[in-house]
Amino acid sequence: MIKKFLSNGFVALEDYLKTNRKEAVALARAYAKGTVFAIANPEAAIRILWEIYPQTKPTGKDEAIALRDDLITLEARAKNWRYEQVDGKRWGDNVAANYQAYLDWLLDQGIVKTKTDAKDIITNELLDEAINFNENERRRRAGGWRGLRTAGAAETIEPKDQPLQQ
C-alpha cells in the first residue's frame, strides 16, 4: 500500500494557488523536467548539482569515487520517481486511491483522528499546464548535455548548441 504512495509532492493552500497560479505551474513544470532529466542522465544531474551547489560535492575522496557513490544514491531514489509504478498516467499525477489508502492507514494507526477524503486534499488541476512539455525531447536533451552555458547559472541547464524551448 505505501509502495503506491508518491515519494515527492507539493503542498499549497487553495488561496495561494488562486493568486500565484503561474508560479505554482512553473515550479511543478521545472520539477517534472528536472526529474525527467535526472532519470535520463543521472551523471549530468549530479555534475549540475555539484557545479551550482559546490558544497554538495563530497570531499575526502577522488571525483570518480564521489561520482560513483552519488550515482548509487540517485539511481536508488529515482526508482521511486516514476509515475507508472503508482498507477499515474503522467508526471505529477495525484492518484486519489493511493492517497485514500495512505490516509486510511494513518487513521488506523491513530496518527490522525479524523477520516479524511483524499479528494478534499489533492488536485491535478495544474497538471495540464505544468507538464506541457515534450518528455522525449527532455530525455534527448539530457543525453546531449554538455555543461552549463554560464558557470553558476542555475536557470540555464540546456545543451550548449540548442535554445531552451517550452
Q: What is the pLDDT of residues 118-148, one digit of tens each?
A: 999 999 999 999 999 999 999 999 988 877 6
Q: Residue 9: pLDDT band by 50, 70, 90 thresholds?
A: confident
Q: Where are the domains of the chain?
A: 12-143
Which string of DSSP letters, residue by residue, matches 80-139? TT-SGGGT-SSTT---HHHHHHHHHHHHHTTS-SS---GGGT---TTHHHHT-S-HHHHH
Mark residue 148 as left, alpha or beta (left: phi above 0; alpha: psi -120 to 50; beta: remaining). Answer: beta
Contact 150, 158 (CB under 8 A): no
Class of domain 12-143: alpha beta
Q: Is the dihedral of CA 108, 109, 110, 112 positive or negative?
A: negative
At 97 the pLDDT is: 92
Q: What is the pLDDT of residues 50-89, one digit of tens each?
A: 999 999 999 999 999 999 999 999 999 998 888 888 888 9
